[in-house]
């Protein structure tokens, strides 16, 4: 029986699982979006979020813990057929990703299910993505709209009421000016010309 045994075996030995988890997370931090199976994504997500939480601290001890957990793989880009070293995964994690999520309390990674299936074994495919800054701002605006719908409606009613009063004042001021101008010329609206 598997009482209180956490995690999935994924048909791998423990060393293979650990290496696979490190490789997937390093690729996720490098590319910020990867495609994998649903089971692997669910297994990797908590590990990646713990590493981002470490990166938010930004201390030397946190950096050393992240290197011990993940390793420090190089980020290599190919330009003109030549491999060029762009930095390391831990460097990107602590310099870009950690500061990006300073204001976010958690939930740095999302799993988006795809309708595609893998050809070989018909496995469910998903996109594993880092949440961007634009999604954070959109989420804040959506929640404020939901929370303050009544307040917004009351404000709209007050604003329209305030706008209507000055319009009436302007109309009366314009009619007074026109009557004064007509009185100066000697003609009023009450005295029609004959």
Q: What is the per-residue pLDDT across 139-154, written as a single tens digit (0 to 9) for each?
A: 655 655 555 566 666 6
27-40 tens-digit pLDDT: 999 999 999 999 99
Could you give the number of structural domains in the chain?
2
Same domain for 39 and 116, yes or no, is yes
Res. 55: pLDDT tops 80? yes
The parent domain of residue 175 ranges over 148-183
Give the predicted TM-score (pTM) of the model. 0.68
Give the per-residue pLDDT at 132. Answer: 85
Give a yes or no: residue 102 inside a domain.
yes
Q: Quick check: 75 pLDDT over 80?
A: yes
pLDDT for 162 equals 67
Judgement on whether residues 111 and 19 belong to the same structural domain of the protein: yes
- Is 161 a residue whose pLDDT tops 70? no
If asked whether residues 152 and 126 sit together in one domain, one would say: no
Same structural domain for residues 174 and 124?
Answer: no
Within a domain: 93 = yes
Decide if 169 is inside a domain. yes
Q: Is residue 5 part of a domain?
A: no
Residues 82, 166, single domain; the answer is: no
Say how far apart CA 56 and CA 64 lie, in whole Å. Answer: 14
Instruction: Tell me the pLDDT tens digit for each residue of 96-112.
Output: 999 999 999 999 999 99
61 band by pLDDT with thresholds 50, 70 and 90: very high
Residues 6+ apart with CB under 8 A from 169: none
Give dist(CA 178, CA 187) in Å, integer: 11
Q: How confident is the model at residue 2 (pLDDT cuts 50, 70, 90)?
A: confident
> Sorting pLDDT into bands at 50, 70 and 90, what band is 163?
low
44 lies in the same domain as 107: yes
Residue 9 located in a structural domain: no
Share of the chain above pLDDT 70, in %: 69
136 pLDDT higher than 90 = no
113 and 47 share a domain?
yes
- Do residues 89 and 47 share a domain? yes
Which is more confidently placed, 160 or 34? 34
CA angle 21/27/32 to nearest 5° reads 120
Q: Indicate if 126 and 157 belong to the same structural domain.
A: no
> Do 120 and 44 fall within a single domain?
yes
Tokens of 138: 């959109």
| Domain-located, residue 193 | no
Both 120 and 160 in a single domain? no
User: Do 152 and 119 have their domain in common?
Assistant: no
- The CATH number of the domain holding residue 63 is 3.90.1030.10
Half-sphere exposure of 121 (CA within 13 A, CB side): 4
Domain assignment present for 70: yes
* Tokens at 73, concatenated: 């793989």
24 in a structural domain? yes
Residue 88 φ/ψ region, left for φ over 0, alpha for ψ in the -120 to 50 degree band, beta for the rest: beta
Query: CB of 92 within 8 A of CB of 30?
Result: yes
Task: Provide the sign of the torsion angle of the four alpha carbons 131, 136, 138, 144, taken in this order.
Answer: positive
Which of 148 and 84 is assigned the larger pLDDT?
Answer: 84
**Position 184 pLDDT exceeds 80:** no
What are all long-range contacts of 86-92, with beta carbons under 8 Å and residues at least 24 apart? 89/26, 89/29, 89/30, 90/63, 90/66, 92/29, 92/30
């Amino acid at each position: 029986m598997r009482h209180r045994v956490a995690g999935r075996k994924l048909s791998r030995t423990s060393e293979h699982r650990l290496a696979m988890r490190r490789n997937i997370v390093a690729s996720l931090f490098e590319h910020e979006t990867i495609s994998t199976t649903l089971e692997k994504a669910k297994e990797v997500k908590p590990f990646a979020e713990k590493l981002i939480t470490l990166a938010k601290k930004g201390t030397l001890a946190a950096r050393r813990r992240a290197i011990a957990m993940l390793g420090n793989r190089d980020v290599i880009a190919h330009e003109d057929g030549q491999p060029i070293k762009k930095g390391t995964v831990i460097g990107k994690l602590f310099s870009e990703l950690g500061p990006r999520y300073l204001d976010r309390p958690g939930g740095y990674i999302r799993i988006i299910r795809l309708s595609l299936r893998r050809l070989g074994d018909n496995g469910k495919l998903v996109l594993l993505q880092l949440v961007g800054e634009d999604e954070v701002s959109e989420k804040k605006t959506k929640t404020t709209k939901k929370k303050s719908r009544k307040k917004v409606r009351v404000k709209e009613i007050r604003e329209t009421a305030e706008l209507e009063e000055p319009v009436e004042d302007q109309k009366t001021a314009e009619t007074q000016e026109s009557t004064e101008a007509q009185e100066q010329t000697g003609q009023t609206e009450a005295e029609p010309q004959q």
